[in-house]
């Protein structure tokens, strides 16, 4: 069995977690909407992840909606004491599976209570405010009104720690003036490196950076260079993509998503993969144009 502790640990909120974690979004149905095609495998994936030592799981009540949290609860409740579940608020799903902003105080409060109920918790470990002001990613705009609501829910004892998602450096600075921020979750991978400078700044500040779409998300990474490096190392391209992220910075925590037991084991094994300098140099040459 893979020793995922080889990828190291990082303190996230109240716990020190393995840097190799798991993202639960893929456990909902197609389009992150409705029930999964194979609920038994979804439960098995979660149990196998925790069995392998994963103690950082990313979720949200808007996956499904409710579905992913309900599966998490069925698979893992009562939760192990060292398990950190990170959820996120700030969106609401339409009946047509659309993603809609939900930043009104009542919506943010409802989202925290939905997460508590569906996860079966009295307090949430970490809640990310998912700003997503742009159509395709972060865009400037004040997060003060919504973060103030989340900070009040933290004061009430419903939330232990706060993170931010889909945010710009300006919004992170604004957020850190309102509440302690323990993690940032933005889109980042071998081919999308807009946050390179931000990642380094957060490392210096001791704040976790948790890239979503580490494997490319809905458009899996494709690159001849990635394939060549993987073939040379006897690894798969996805393992190399994850190992590159692990070697990128010690504050970077992985939450690759999968609905497949085989992919889960493949991804976890990346925790033991060390990329030699030549491979790192080749991978660093991949640009947005070369891979997608």
Ligand X SMILES: NC(=O)c1ccc[n+]([C@@H]2O[C@H](COP(=O)([O-])OP(=O)(O)OC[C@H]3O[C@@H](n4cnc5c(N)ncnc54)[C@H](OP(=O)(O)O)[C@@H]3O)[C@@H](O)[C@H]2O)c1
CA-to-CA separations, 38 to 22, 26, 42, 103, 118, in angstroms, rounded: 18, 11, 6, 33, 20
Catalytic one of 22, 63, 79, 209: 63
Q: Beta-carbon neighbour count of residue 89 at 10 Å? A: 29
Q: How far is the CB of 22 from ligand X (least distance, A)?
A: 8
Q: Which is nearer to ligand X, 187 or 278 (CB)?
A: 187
Contact (Cβ atoms closer than 8 angstroms) between residue 254 and residue 20: yes
Q: Do the Cβ atoms of 25 and 63 come closer than 8 Å? A: yes
Q: Cβ 187 to ligand X, closest distance in Å? A: 7
Strands 99-101 and 91-93: antiparallel
Nearer to ligand X, 97 or 281 (CB): 97
The CB-nearest residue to ligand X is 257
Nearer Cβ to ligand X (88/93): 88
Q: How far apart are CA 42 and CA 261, in angstroms?
A: 9
CB of 162 to ligand X, least distance (A): 14
The closest alpha carbon to 187, from 162, 210, 207, belongs to 210
Q: What is the smallest separation between the CB atom of 57 and ligand X, expressed in angstroms?
A: 8
Contact residues for 171 (Cβ-Cβ < 8 A; gap 6+): 131, 138, 140, 141, 143, 164
Least distance CB 292 / ligand X (angstroms): 13
Check if 79 is active-site. no
Distance CA 135, CA 45 (A): 31
> Quick one: 11 or 260, whose CB is closer to ligand X?
260
Q: Give the binding site for ligand X (CB under 6 A).
A: 23-26, 58, 88, 130, 165-166, 185, 212-217, 220, 238, 255-260, 263, 266-267
If the CB atoms of residues 64 and 257 are measured against ligand X, the closer one turns out to be 257
- What's the DSSP call for residue 27? G
> Strands 15-18 and 9-12: what pairing?
antiparallel
Which residues belong to the active site? Answer: 63
């Amino acid at each position: 069995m893979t020793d995922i502790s080889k990828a190291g640990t990082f303190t996230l909120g109240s716990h020190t977690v393995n840097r190799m974690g798991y993202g639960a979004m893929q456990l909902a149905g197609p389009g992150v909407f409705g029930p999964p095609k194979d609920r038994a495998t979804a439960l098995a994936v979660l149990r196998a992840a925790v069995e392998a030592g994963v103690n950082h799981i990313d979720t949200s009540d808007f996956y499904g909606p409710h579905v992913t949290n309900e599966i998490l609860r069925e698979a893992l409740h009562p939760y192990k004491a060292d398990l950190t579940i990170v959820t996120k608020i700030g969106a609401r799903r339409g009946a047509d599976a659309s993603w809609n902003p939900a930043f009104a105080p009542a919506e943010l409060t409802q989202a925290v209570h939905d997460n508590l109920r569906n996860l079966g918790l009295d307090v949430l470990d970490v809640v990310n405010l998912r700003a997503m002001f742009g159509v395709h990613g972060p865009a400037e705009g004040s997060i003060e009104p919504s973060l103030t609501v989340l900070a009040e829910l933290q004061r009430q004892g419903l939330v232990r720690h706060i993170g931010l998602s889909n945010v710009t450096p300006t919004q992170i600075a604004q957020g850190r003036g309102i509440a302690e921020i323990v993690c940032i979750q933005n889109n980042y991978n071998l081919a999308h490196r807009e946050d390179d400078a931000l990642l380094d700044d957060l490392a210096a500040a001791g704040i976790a950076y948790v890239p979503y779409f580490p494997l490319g998300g809905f458009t899996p990474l494709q690159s001849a260079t990635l394939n060549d490096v993987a073939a040379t190392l006897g690894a798969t391209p996805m393992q190399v993509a994850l190992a590159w992220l692990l070697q990128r910075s010690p504050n970077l925590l992985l939450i690759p998503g999968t609905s497949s037991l085989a992919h889960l084991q493949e991804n976890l094994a990346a925790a033991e993969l060390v990329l030699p300098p030549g491979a790192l140099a080749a991978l660093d040459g991949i640009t947005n144009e070369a891979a997608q």
